[in-house]
Structure 1
Amino acid sequence: MKTMSTEELINLLDANEDLNIVDVREDNEVEEGMIPGAIHIPLGQIPERANELDSSKEYILVCRGGVRSEKACQYLESQGFQVVNLEGGMMAYDGELEFK
């Protein structure tokens, strides 16, 4: 499974790269802020909502500390998706936040 550091992610965001970020945290956690442009699909909903994702795109998955996003990555990878796990999750991310 591919991984990415939060520093790498921030550099890509700063360069205005076209990224596909999926936040797998729970509703109450995303209220604390999300990475700009991320979509929210809680970990427990990944299997039933995987059809909302485009298998031709690469997705960066994020959670609070990196464990739940790793589980989501394993599942989506087994379904043929290209995924990257954000190491350290939101606890390591110190970039811009967006509130929904």
Structure 2
Amino acid sequence: MLGKLKSMLGLEDPVNYYELIQNGAKIVDVRTPSEYRMGHIKGSINIPLQELNRKHKKLNKNQTIITCCASGVRSASAKNILESNGFKEVYNGKGWARLQSKIG
């Protein structure tokens, strides 16, 4: 019922993160290393937001990137940083636990 209501109001996330992962998307977790150590999505890489401007060169600009953090605020900033540095396809996965539930 709640999902149907969200869909009607346009609040449901239209992105199929599971499909993106299946097609080779990389998850970049922008939380601090200590936050990352406390729990993260298997296969994700940790590049803290404050280091992303310097370390984005480790990523492939042509690969689909999904950013995540604790709540979605830092991952939104990370998405903007990557796009301003020429990344073609970047999605804000928001909170890592929420994203993990969407990729199964």
Please classify the TM superposition score into its range, dividing by the shorter chain length. Answer: 0.7 to 0.9
Q: What pairs up with 1:16-95 in 2 under 5 angstroms?
A: 16-81=22-87, 82-87=89-94, 89-93=95-99, 95=101
TM-score, normalised relative to structure 2: 0.72
Q: Work out the number of aligned pairs and report it.
A: 89
Partner of 2:5: none
Cα distance per residue 1:7-45 (max 9 Å; x no partner):
943x448x8442210000001111121111101100000
| SS across alignment from 2:43 | coil
Q: Is the 8 A contact 2:68 2:99 kept in 1?
A: no
TM-score by length of 1: 0.74
Q: Partners in 2 of 1:83 and 1:94 — Cα distance? A: 17
- How many percent of aligned residue pairs carry the same amino acid? 34
What CA RMSD, in Å, does the superposition of the two structures yield over aligned residues?
Answer: 2.5
Q: SS at 1:62's partner residue?
A: strand
SS at match of 1:35: coil
Of the structure 1 ranges 27-36 and 59-68, higher mean CA displacement relative to structure 2 is found in: 27-36
Structure with larger Rg: 2
Q: Distance in 1 between matches of 2:41 and 2:83?
A: 22
Amino acid paired to 2:24: D
Q: Is the 8 A contact 2:41 2:100 kept in 1?
A: no
Structure 1 unaligned spans of 5+: 96-100
Which structure 1 residue ranges, 4+ long, deviate > 6 Å from structure 2?
none
Taking CA–CA contacts closer than 8 Å with sequence separation of 6 or more, which of the two structures ends up with the larger relative contact order? Answer: 1
Gaps of 5+ in 2: 1-11
